[in-house]
Structure 1
Amino acid sequence: MNTPIAHIESLDYEGRGVARVDGKTIFIDGGLPGEQVTYRTLRRKANYEVAEVSKVLKLSNLRTTPECKHFGVCGGCAIQHLDVTGQVAAKQRMLEDNFWHIGKTRPERMLPAIYGPSWGYRHKARLRVRYVAKKGGVLVGFNEKATSFVADMDSCKVLPPHVSQLIPAMKELVGKLSVRESLPQIEVAVGELSTVLVLRILAPLQASDTAPIKAFADTHGVEIWTQSKGPDTVQPFYPPQGPGLSYSLPEFDLRYPFKPTEFTQVNPHINRVMLRRAMQLLQPQAGERIADFFCGLGNFTLPIARSGASVFGMEGSAALVARAHESAALNGLQGQVEYQEADLFKMTPELLASLGHFDKWLVDPPRDGAMELIKSLPDVADANAPSKHAPQRIVYVSCNPSTLARDAGILVHSKGYRLLASGVINMFPHTAHVESIALFERV
């Protein structure tokens, strides 16, 4: 039987090599663009196959040795075997392909990619925990690749070094607790003044658990919080009054407090550069009225307000809206910002019109994109539409190239906008996750 050979053309959204053999698409784990490989099929469907590399016959000059010893077993990273420059190039191609194949449009200009530190960048993470009685120990880490099992890890290269070094101690701590079989997750949040570990517990802590938790926190200089049910049950355990979590944006003289389970960008280094790029594209001016949709805790709202513009932020989470108000007051900007809680996935043309005119928009949606918001803009072909409610400029920050491309297609083909520029943001090095930014301007 002949061993099948494939030429890898690109990477897919999971970081697998994409090849075409006899007209059939083959997704090959471990293959890199430009490589020729033999492969072993794992799953065969009518119009595609899922496979893994057996042998690399022609090596990519961008292939590199993964730095993490857990790579290949742990599912946290997908492309450590590809040089960072190659990772960004692959993500840029994925973004361009999505624009064309989904949105039927192309950016007039591709922006330089935004880079940052490749290791130790991940300041937010959810680590799985599993007590394995048969093995007599505790596992703490990310899921294994393509399974629901917890990877047996003792370090992690993408976590900050001081958190990575804590993984063996976390295992030891969990093993001492009465709730070790009812503790499925430890959520990590790193701020500029403190590090918080949130123990997700499904049974009440006992009196005997207090001493080992306090000893762990004191020894390693972290705060321990607990969560028994939903987000509203997250609370500090020890110490009861720590310095708290916060991050800063020195370029805009801003500081943001946050709770450990509230959404913040996982990569604070890239967040600062991304904000600078967004402000350069948006060009906020004093006297303008600007909307920040999916505003979260005000990550973009407050830098926009620093320009002197009046900013309206809209967000679906009541907790994040409250945090946004807190941050505005802390930074002396409460007079320039207004926040409203609303489900933006239920936006209508009537509701959008009721918000009044905005000169510009900043849109930063979750993975599902902003289709209902975009569709609520006046249609360029509708002579009776209230075009005054269409902003002249839209900066769209995306964590999913396919939904960005879909929304770009609507903006360009139905709403009268040009896609002036776009580029990738390498927010998550060594993963296939594609973060990007795009600039639209009304014709």
Structure 2
Amino acid sequence: KQRVLVGFNEKATRYVADMNSCEVLVPEVSALIAPLQEMIVQLSIRDKLPQIELAVGEANLAEAGLINNRPVIVLILRIMAELTAQDETLLKAFADVHAVQIWTQTKGPDTIKPFYPQDNASLPSLKYSLPEFDLTYPFKPNEFTQVNPQINQVMIRRAMQLLAAQAHEKIADFFCGIGNFTLPIARSGAQVLGLEGLANLVDRANESAVLNGVTNSQFGVADLFKMTPEALTALGRFDKWLVDPPRDGAFELIKSLDASNSPQRIVYVSCNPATLARDAGVLVNEKGYVLKAAGVINMFSHTSHVESIAWFELA
């Protein structure tokens, strides 16, 4: 009693596992767990603070006068009650001492905003880079990025090897997010269309394309979970696909394939082997594809989860 637990939810429950450090987190964030416990217990709203979301970006020494190689760390506090003046003082002091940004969320995702420092223009921005492709991606704290940036680079390199994009080709990147695969594909010279269900991620992808001087990519918003053969055919014919869906997989997209819209090659990246296996069954047994190669990537170290990647070729 009179303690605050800071950790992850236990499997299949809403209970929080108490911890003082975590090997999954970057060391600078793992070191914050105990100080967070000490700070949160002093807040008047501690019973109205059910969740803290975390975002980490690469250090950028050229921004905001940074003088060390510490990553940019943002904590999003899901608060269900109004902060008191004392709460605000505690949070600001914590941010100053531990060199983090604190954002708050009072209701839905559209209520996420910087709390401290408040001058958003002066804050070091969240970003990650793909040096092999000379790409840098800015992102907001609540926008999806891969949890392991080092393994993300390995994954993209392998996907590009399997896709083998050529300058004369047209390639589609489904569930493209902020362009994690789209822009590396574009570096090959191919014309690339990235489709994503969330408009804010499409906006960020377009921003990254401009930032990186990429002119041979386009992005659009589409509900890929409601794809139909007619809608897929209307997109035009593509030589190759890159598919990287969330855990639910890409069943409706795969079911929409027919003779008029089937690419020669599909590289499928998945964070859920079960839905990849389901969709692979459709590709091989119903759509005329052959599984040429498959493997796993240790994206989620120290956990039971894996990232999978598979290459399918039209027979």
The one-letter amino acid paired with 1:344 is L
For residues 29 and 109 of structure 2, the distance between their equivalents in structure 1, rounded to whole angstroms, comes to: 23
Identify the match of residue 349 of structure 1 among 229, 249, 253.
229
Aligned residues: 300
The one-letter amino acid paired with 1:349 is P
* 2:35 aligned with 1:172: no
TM-score (norm 2): 0.93
Cα-to-partner distance string for 1:353-408 (whole Å, 9 max, x where unaligned): 00001010000001111111111111xxxxxx42xx21111000011111111111
For residues 204 and 396 of structure 1, the distance between their equivalents in structure 2, rounded to whole angstroms, comes to: 45
TM-score (norm 1): 0.66
Partner residue of 1:219?
Answer: 97
Q: Rate the CA distance shift 1:360–1:146 in 2: closer, same or farther, 3 A.
A: closer
Is contact 2:23–2:302 with CA below 8 Å preserved after alignment?
no
Q: Which has the higher relative contact order, 1 or 2, with Cα contacts under 8 A spaced 6 or more apart?
A: 1
Q: Rate the CA distance shift 1:146–1:310 in 2: closer, same or farther, 3 A.
A: closer
Identify the match of residue 274 of structure 1 among 149, 155, 173.
155
RMSD between aligned residues: 1.1
Identity %: 70
Identify the match of residue 25 of structure 2 among 159, 165, 171.
159
For 2:252, what is the secondary structure of its paired residue? helix
For 2:20, what is the secondary structure of its paired residue? coil
Give 1 or 2 for the bigger CA radius of gyration: 1
Partner residue of 2:49?
Answer: 183
Identify the match of residue 209 of structure 1 among 78, 81, 87.
87
For residues 155 and 408 of structure 1, the distance between their equivalents in structure 2, rounded to whole angstroms, comes to: 39
Cα offset, 1:146, TM superposition: 5.0
For 2:138, what is the secondary structure of its paired residue? strand
Partner residue of 1:237?
Answer: 115
Q: Which runs of 5+ in 1 are unaligned?
A: 1-134, 379-384
Q: Which runs of 5+ in 2 are unaligned?
A: 60-71
For 1:137, what is the secondary structure of its paired residue? coil
Instruction: Report the structure, 1 or 2, having the larger strand content.
Output: 1
The one-letter amino acid paired with 1:171 is Q
Identify the match of residue 291 of structure 1 among 168, 172, 175.
172
Cα offset, 1:186, TM superposition: 0.9
The one-letter amino acid paired with 1:348 is T
Cα offset, 1:279, TM superposition: 0.3
For residues 313 and 146 of structure 1, the distance between their equivalents in structure 2, rounded to whole angstroms, comes to: 34
For residues 106 and 11 of structure 2, the distance between their equivalents in structure 1, rounded to whole angstroms, comes to: 28
The one-letter amino acid paired with 1:163 is V
Identify the match of residue 309 of structure 1 among 164, 173, 190.
190
Cα-to-partner distance string for 1:208-266 (whole Å, 9 max, x where unaligned): 22211111111111111111111111111111231021100000000011111211100
Identify the match of residue 375 of structure 1 among 241, 255, 261.
255
For 1:139, what is the secondary structure of its paired residue? coil
Cα offset, 1:145, TM superposition: 4.8
Partner residue of 2:63?
Answer: none
For residues 425 and 256 of structure 1, the distance between their equivalents in structure 2, rounded to whole angstroms, comes to: 22
Partner residue of 1:339?
Answer: 219
Cα offset, 1:302, TM superposition: 0.3
The one-letter amino acid paired with 2:195 is M
For residues 346 and 149 of structure 1, the distance between their equivalents in structure 2, rounded to whole angstroms, comes to: 35
The one-letter amino acid paired with 1:412 is V
* 2:282 aligned with 1:410: yes
The one-letter amino acid paired with 1:270 is I
For residues 174 and 319 of structure 1, the distance between their equivalents in structure 2, rounded to whole angstroms, comes to: 31
The one-letter amino acid paired with 1:237 is F
